[in-house]
Structure 1
Amino acid sequence: MGSQRSDCLDEYRIENPIQLGAVSEEGTHDDGRERAVIVCQVANSALAGDHVLDELNELAGSAGAKVCARMVSVRSRPVAATFMGKGKVEELASMVAIHAVSVVIFDHSISPVQERNIEKQVKCRVLDRSGLILSIFAQRATSMEGKLQVELAQLRHLSTRLVRGWSHLERQKGGIGLRGPGESQLETDRRLIGQRIRTLASRLERVESQRNLRRRARQRAPVATISLVGYTNAGKSTLFNALTGADTLSDNRLFATLDPTMRRLDLPKAGTVVLSDTVGFVRDLPHSLIASFKSTLEEVLNSTFLLLVTDISASDSQETRLHVRDVLEEIGAENIPVLNVFNKIDKIRQAPKAVFNRNGIPESVMLSAETGEGLDLLIEALATLMSKEYSQYRIELKPDAGELRSRLFQKCEVLDETYLDDGSMVLDLKMSDITMGWLMSQENYSGKWSQVG
């Protein structure tokens, strides 16, 4: 956002205010990507290895940047004005000049004041981790709801950063209709962004109400929902496609999936479930993003089970699982049953394996979604989990309830069927309490049943 801007609210739309790209030739790589320096500050030298910037390097690449240099600073606590010490800031400015970069990316959330002060000294843009993640999400959003959610999160982030050294925004100037007497340009920007945030929030409320209607419709139907959750780039979409035969985008890049996708999955002897592919988590996920994606994350909250997918070939696989657990706790999903799925065993040459506890409940499955090894073990584990939710019933159907009978054969495991003299049908079947509640609500159901197992 520069000095050339419109003060009309209808035109005050920031599609991607933190997007990388579209910079001068001096700050771009030969392939047109923006040149960047990535920076991390750790509390002690034991944590100062170059590997601490590996994830930020991937994030920057996903946003379209070319990382030209890295810097790891050791300091017990950040400096209030510039986050890093004076010497490190000078060293950073030298790196920016030598590599002709146009953006410095920090692996931390830094304050607007720190961001402005560093920009003054290094003479280029400064982006923190939250801003970088928001930029990636803006590039990945495809649905209307996703775009609204990203724009809302971006504006909330940007509203705290309107002090970016824009001296022209501090001048007081009256206006016709838009500006009050003596209102500065900066105050006008804040007010316009506030109005845009309220507009987006209102539109999202309407979209959320539609999503809630669809969710309630699914809940009325006797179908359980299983959500894939995990760290970004763990292979969730590849696993989703392998299980359902869908063609959801699966790519070896961070946040390849943003908008949730749902497909039907038939489990042997356990009926039909809905499998949901969700956005990947990452450590230090911006709170504004979690708030803006509340309705999307609620799909996870309404799941019967969670498949926590982990890239077992990654050196930090244990750490990423803990980060995912933290996010699940933050959104209130920590009490939903979890089946751990350790993916990408083909990269470490491990054999597929399913682990059960002493009660016969599956706890984890090791597989490769890419090669298909272990998918059968996962299907069996899911069927076992679902069967634990089922009870055995004997029900009686009226002679004219053929359509209801057909639907029960689709949704339940039918163990036995007999016919009475009057044409009524008696079925022994295994079904969940959800399915039983649905059955009781059907108009052509006689209401005769007993639990036999």
Structure 2
Amino acid sequence: MRDEAAIATQRDLDARLEEAFGLAQAIDLDVRATVPVPVSQPKPATLFGAGKVEEIGETVKEEDIDLAIVDHALTPIQQRNLEKAWKTKVIDRTGLILEIFGERARTREGRLQVELAHLKYQKSRLVRSWTHLERQRGGFGFLGGPGETQIEADRRQLQEKITRIEADLEQVKRTRDLHRRQRRKVPHPVVALVGYTNAGKSTLFNRLTEADVFAKDLLFATLDPTLRRIKLPHGTEAILSDTVGFISNLPTHLVAAFRATLEEVIEASIILHVRDISHKDTEAQASDVADVLKQLGLDPADRERIIEVWNKIDLVDGTRRDALLAQAATESPGGQERRVVSAVTGDGLPELLAAIETRLLGSRPVHELTLDPSDGAGLAWLYDHGEVLERHDGENGMLHLSVRIAEKSMTVFHQRYGERIQHPLAEN
């Protein structure tokens, strides 16, 4: 069962319903009915009006529904009242996302983050009228003092678990920071993939790294962060980081719980914002990603670090494809570079890799050198291990070159070309 509250939004109602359906499928629920419910004025007690509550209740009864999911945030009181009215369990969008996260987490860090978010969510639900909450019980040491109510004990026990998990996560964070410092010594710049869930990040990650990360047409197919080394066209090496997908109305405490994972994004040299450009709500999805980046303290309009990757161009018809290619070639409102690709077919990926390398090499010094035109091997080495910015013939027949060289190749560059290298020029 899926009940959708389409409260004042720019999103397409059908797309919202499709996404809600996809969330349910992500944990293999058998969806018996979907009921789109536009809500102009949310009711404090039940979110929906009395007539709609009754109508949905009839559907719940007829379809023998065990679980009703409201694709909107519910207050504990709204959740309790809807459960009473429909005589079935009710969870909201946050609860459903937590269930998906719990099923997807594979690493210890991922499981800890999910458990922390779930406990904080549970703690906020402790106003519900569970049957045992009105009982009083005496204390036995850790169970609390005489007269402590069950709800107080539950809240205290939840807080103790939260404190313990936060301490465990802090240790994980210190280990991750250590690994990050070790990578800086290499150094390999980090290129982070971000985007709306199911935008194709993991498929793109697999294509670029020849890895085998779980990639499926499912919301939140990837939850735990994955890092792989990639080699760019001129030999520059980087670390590519795949991250959890973002989604609309992602609760702040969920973003906070996954902040340690998302620190790879915060510290990345380049952020690839992957968009499903074939999706009818692609603009709204991009806005949602921008909102999460802001929560992480990042500027979504940072033209120096962010490249928009318009993925799934293979799913777009010819006329719109041409329009998107023309649009991508123009200056974006935020000034970001835009690349049109298909992670499935490989279209546009060489250009994307070249754009990444240009960004990474752009902060490195430009060297001038002269080269004998007969030194074909020397010239080929420069093209393989760096970026040849300018090349022209001198009056004496020598080649005059302006080049940027990948960091890891600088020692060989100086050994090989020696006195032919002039002092680095100022950055372009």
Question: TM-score higher than 0.5 here?
Answer: yes
Change (3 A) 1:429 1:73: closer
Asked if 2 retains the 8 angstrom alpha-carbon contact of 1:393 and 1:450, the reply is: yes
Change (3 A) 1:47 1:324: closer
Match of 1:346 among 291, 299, 314: 314
Q: Secondary structure at the match of 2:133?
A: helix
Distance in structure 2 (CA, Å) of the matches to 1:246 and 1:449: 41
Aligned residues: 383
Distance in structure 1 (CA, Å) of the matches to 2:162 and 2:368: 55
Q: Secondary structure at the match of 2:124?
A: coil
Correspondence 1:108 to 2:72: yes
Taking the TM superposition and a 5 Å limit, the aligned residue runs for 1:86-105 are: 86-105=50-69
Please report how far the alpha carbon of residue 331 of structure 1 lies from its aligned counterpart in structure 2 after TM superposition.
0.8
Distance in structure 2 (CA, Å) of the matches to 1:224 and 1:41: 42
Taking the TM superposition and a 5 Å limit, the aligned residue runs for 1:1-400 are: 36-43=1-8, 49-177=13-141, 178-269=143-234, 271-334=236-299, 335=302, 337-350=305-318, 355=328, 363-393=337-367
Post-superposition CA distance 1:370-393 (Å, at most 9, x none): 111222221222222223222125
Asked if 2 retains the 8 angstrom alpha-carbon contact of 1:225 and 1:304, the reply is: yes
Asked if 1 retains the 8 angstrom alpha-carbon contact of 2:270 and 2:356, the reply is: no
Q: Which has the larger share of helix?
A: 2
Match of 2:386 among 413, 433, 452: 413
Q: Secondary structure at the match of 1:430?
A: strand
Distance in structure 1 (CA, Å) of the matches to 2:348 and 2:259: 33
Change (3 A) 1:309 1:49: closer
Please report how far the alpha carbon of residue 356 of structure 1 lies from its aligned counterpart in structure 2 after TM superposition.
5.2
Asked if 1 retains the 8 angstrom alpha-carbon contact of 2:227 and 2:241, the reply is: yes
Change (3 A) 1:51 1:380: closer
Change (3 A) 1:412 1:47: closer
Distance in structure 1 (CA, Å) of the matches to 2:268 and 2:345: 27
Please report how far the alpha carbon of residue 68 of structure 1 lies from its aligned counterpart in structure 2 after TM superposition.
1.5
Please report how far the alpha carbon of residue 170 of structure 1 lies from its aligned counterpart in structure 2 after TM superposition.
1.3
Distance in structure 2 (CA, Å) of the matches to 1:413 and 1:222: 16
Query: Which stretches of structure 1, 4 residues or more, deviate above 6 A after TM superposition?
Result: none
Post-superposition CA distance 1:157-200 (Å, at most 9, x none): 01111233213221111032223100112211111111000000
* Structure 2 counterpart of 1:451: 424
Change (3 A) 1:322 1:43: closer
Post-superposition CA distance 1:45-90 (Å, at most 9, x none): x989544311111111112212212223333221111111111111
Asked if 1 retains the 8 angstrom alpha-carbon contact of 2:3 and 2:37, the reply is: no
Taking the TM superposition and a 5 Å limit, the aligned residue runs for 1:421-440 are: 430-431=404-405, 435=407
TM-score normalised per structure 1:
0.77
Change (3 A) 1:222 1:52: closer
Runs of 5+ consecutive residues of structure 2 not aligned to the other structure: 370-380, 389-401, 412-420
Please report how far the alpha carbon of residue 290 of structure 1 lies from its aligned counterpart in structure 2 after TM superposition.
0.7
Runs of 5+ consecutive residues of structure 1 not aligned to the other structure: 1-35, 396-407, 416-427, 440-447
TM-score normalised per structure 2:
0.82
Change (3 A) 1:229 1:62: same
Distance in structure 2 (CA, Å) of the matches to 1:271 and 1:297: 24
Report which stretch shifted further, 140-149 or 311-320. 311-320
Asked if 2 retains the 8 angstrom alpha-carbon contact of 1:365 and 1:374, the reply is: yes
Percentage of identical aligned residues: 41
* Structure 1 counterpart of 2:393: none
Asked if 1 retains the 8 angstrom alpha-carbon contact of 2:5 and 2:39, the reply is: no
Please report how far the alpha carbon of residue 329 of structure 1 lies from its aligned counterpart in structure 2 after TM superposition.
1.3
Q: Secondary structure at the match of 2:115?
A: helix
Q: Secondary structure at the match of 2:284?
A: helix
Distance in structure 1 (CA, Å) of the matches to 2:387 and 2:87: 71
Change (3 A) 1:90 1:366: same
Structure 2 counterpart of 1:89, which letter?
V
Change (3 A) 1:161 1:303: same
Please report how far the alpha carbon of residue 268 of structure 1 lies from its aligned counterpart in structure 2 after TM superposition.
2.0
Change (3 A) 1:274 1:357: farther
* Structure 2 counterpart of 1:31: none
Report which stretch shifted further, 64-73 or 193-202. 64-73
Change (3 A) 1:320 1:261: same
Distance in structure 2 (CA, Å) of the matches to 1:109 and 1:55: 15
Post-superposition CA distance 1:414-452 (Å, at most 9, x none): 98xxxxxxxxxxxx96357xx59x98xxxxxxxx99424
Q: Secondary structure at the match of 1:283?
A: coil
Q: Secondary structure at the match of 1:167?
A: coil
Structure 1 counterpart of 2:230, which letter?
L
Please report how far the alpha carbon of residue 39 of structure 1 lies from its aligned counterpart in structure 2 after TM superposition.
2.8
Distance in structure 1 (CA, Å) of the matches to 2:140 and 2:230: 60
Distance in structure 1 (CA, Å) of the matches to 2:347 and 2:15: 30
Please report how far the alpha carbon of residue 347 of structure 1 lies from its aligned counterpart in structure 2 after TM superposition.
1.4
Distance in structure 2 (CA, Å) of the matches to 1:274 and 1:70: 42
Report which stretch shifted further, 341-350 or 186-195. 341-350
Distance in structure 2 (CA, Å) of the matches to 1:232 and 1:173: 46
* Structure 1 counterpart of 2:377: none
Post-superposition CA distance 1:193-217 (Å, at most 9, x none): 1100000000000000110111122
Distance in structure 2 (CA, Å) of the matches to 1:339 and 1:263: 19
Please report how far the alpha carbon of residue 128 of structure 1 lies from its aligned counterpart in structure 2 after TM superposition.
0.7
Asked if 1 retains the 8 angstrom alpha-carbon contact of 2:192 and 2:242, the reply is: yes
